[in-house]
Chains A and B, each alone.
Chain A
Amino acid sequence: MGLEIYNSTVQAAVNWARKFSLFQYPFVTACCGMEFMSTAAPKYDLARFGAEFPRFSPRQADLLIIVGTITERQGPALRRIYDQMCEPKWVVAFGVCASTGGFYQNYSTMPGADQVVPVDVYIPGCPPRPEQVLDALILLQERIQRGEGHSQIVLKAEAGHDVPIAAIRPRDKGPQAAPLGTQPHAVRPEGAK
């Protein structure tokens, strides 16, 4: 009993530290990037919330911000970047295209980045206002404090704890599991470069 109280207190302190030192990796693919720049610039000042520094290496980041349309062709790259980030990590889908595919409904556009990476907070809007982004960041901070980020829950589940959300299965670590982002869902023809 005493151990559990100790454990949860440490977790609360750690999560408090995590939520105010988010290092973002902006995966910017489209026009939402302009609004993201505005949010990060002094007028709206994302740095006030501790998410100061965009890192352009996934190994130095723990918040993946997917800004813009994701195509099926970009899927493996996005998945690889997510896999390269250190845990625990969080994902924000910035704008309707990253959230659902937006007004693109065609052969090339992925219907939401959550098809390849688990998204913690979705920001609607085309593009969203900076205020929405700040709101989403505060939502994410609350979620981090509660320990309910997707990767936090997966880590808990792998450590043998009960997880609150039944929809999240632990990752497939069987011998047949290929490196993530490289599973051949489509077949590359013979001789293709």
Chain B
Amino acid sequence: MSQLILDRLAATFTGGELEQIGSQHGNEWARVRRDAWRTVATFLRDDPACDLKMPTDLTAVDRVSREPRFDVVVHLYSVTKKHRVRLYAGVPEDDCTLDSLVSVWPGMDWFEREAYDLYGVRFRGHPDLRRILMYPEFVGHPLRKDYPKEKRQPLVRRDDLPINPIKAPHAGEHK
């Protein structure tokens, strides 16, 4: 459907900015070099043939054992051309940063805050990068695969909580 977008990208970015392109089940995707993330996004927004004005989603994927560990994924859609494309950027764990796309699409604000909150990817140039779902007291990033499944960080507990052997491990954690 949107092979045109990949052709436009391949024709424009010849300096290795595109690490990989592909198509699966009729959905085209491109893996972008990390330092070209914002350049490619701006091109896709402004190119009249692509006209991808509507970013529908941005999130991250934790692939734990792979290097780089994280993928940031953005889904783009064109309302006029009715085509879409998916962009990936790999983000390593030791330098967990990526250029923010808020300057390209203002709507990316809360998406990037969510990805930062849950995966810990820091977006450079974001105007207000703080947690959006979890509370400020929360430590860590809960959707990382190495976050313990049952670890809880309570804000408040009863001071007369009855001793319950089933709940004791959780209840005692904050003490």
User: What residues of chain A have their CB less than 8 Å away from a CB belonging to chain B?
Assistant: 72-73, 75-76, 79, 105-108, 110-112, 114-118, 167-172, 177, 180-189, 192-193
Cβ–Cβ contact A188 & B160, under 8 A: no
Q: Mark B134-175, 1 if CB is under 8 A from A, else 0.
A: 111111001000010111111111111111000100110010
Given A188-B137, A189-B136, decide whether A72 and B159 contact each other with a Cβ distance below 8 A.
no
B53 touches A (CB below 8 Å)? no
User: What residues of chain B have their CB less than 8 Å away from a CB belonging to chain A?
Assistant: 130, 133-139, 142, 147, 149-163, 167, 170-171, 174
Grouping DSSP codes into helix (H, G, I), strand (E, B) and loop, the A interface class, with mixed when no group exceeds half, is loop
List 8 additional contacts besides A72-B135, A114-B158; criterion CB under 8 Å.
A75-B156, A106-B150, A108-B142, A186-B154, A186-B155, A189-B136, A192-B130, A192-B136
Residues from chain B with a CB closer than 8 A to the CB of A168 are: 160, 162
In the bound assembly, the distance between CA atoms of A182 and B159 in angstroms comes to: 12
Most chain A CB neighbours (cut-off 10 Å) among B147, B150, B151, B159: B159
Task: Tell me, rounded to whole Å, the shortest Cβ–Cβ distance linking A85 to chain B.
Answer: 15
Cβ–Cβ contact A73 & B134, under 8 A: yes
Task: Tell me, rounded to whole Å, the shortest Cβ–Cβ distance linking B42 to chain A.
Answer: 30
Contact residue among A76, A115, A186 (Cβ-Cβ distance under 8 Å from B138): A186
Cβ–Cβ contact B158 & A115, under 8 A: yes
Cβ–Cβ contact B154 & A108, under 8 A: no
Residues from chain B with a CB closer than 8 A to the CB of A115 are: 154, 157-158, 161, 167, 171
* Identity of the chain B residue whose Cβ is nearest the Cβ of A177 in the assembled complex: B159
Cβ–Cβ contact A72 & B153, under 8 A: yes
In the bound assembly, the distance between CA atoms of A189 and B137 in angstroms comes to: 6
In the bound assembly, the distance between CA atoms of A108 and B150 in angstroms comes to: 9
Residues from chain B with a CB closer than 8 A to the CB of A112 are: 167
Residues from chain A with a CB closer than 8 A to the CB of B136 are: 188-189, 192-193
Cβ–Cβ contact A111 & B162, under 8 A: no
* Identity of the chain B residue whose Cβ is nearest the Cβ of A167 in the assembled complex: B162
Residues from chain B with a CB closer than 8 A to the CB of A79 are: 156
Cβ–Cβ contact A106 & B130, under 8 A: no
In the bound assembly, the distance between CA atoms of A185 and B171 in angstroms comes to: 11
* Identity of the chain B residue whose Cβ is nearest the Cβ of A106 in the assembled complex: B149
* Identity of the chain B residue whose Cβ is nearest the Cβ of A171 in the assembled complex: B160
Cβ–Cβ contact B152 & A183, under 8 A: no
Residues from chain A with a CB closer than 8 A to the CB of B134 are: 73, 108
In the bound assembly, the distance between CA atoms of A182 and B157 in angstroms comes to: 10
Q: Which 8 A-B pairs have the closest CB atoms?
A: A186-B137, A192-B136, A107-B142, A167-B162, A185-B174, A75-B156, A169-B160, A172-B159
Residues from chain B with a CB closer than 8 A to the CB of A184 are: 137
Most chain A CB neighbours (cut-off 10 Å) among B134, B147, B156, B159: B156
Cβ–Cβ contact A116 & B156, under 8 A: yes
Task: Tell me, rounded to whole Å, the shortest Cβ–Cβ distance linking B141 to chain A.
Answer: 10
Cβ–Cβ contact B170 & A116, under 8 A: no
In the bound assembly, the distance between CA atoms of A110 and B173 in angstroms comes to: 13
Cβ–Cβ contact A75 & B155, under 8 A: yes
Contact residue among A105, A106, A177, A183 (Cβ-Cβ distance under 8 Å from B156): A183
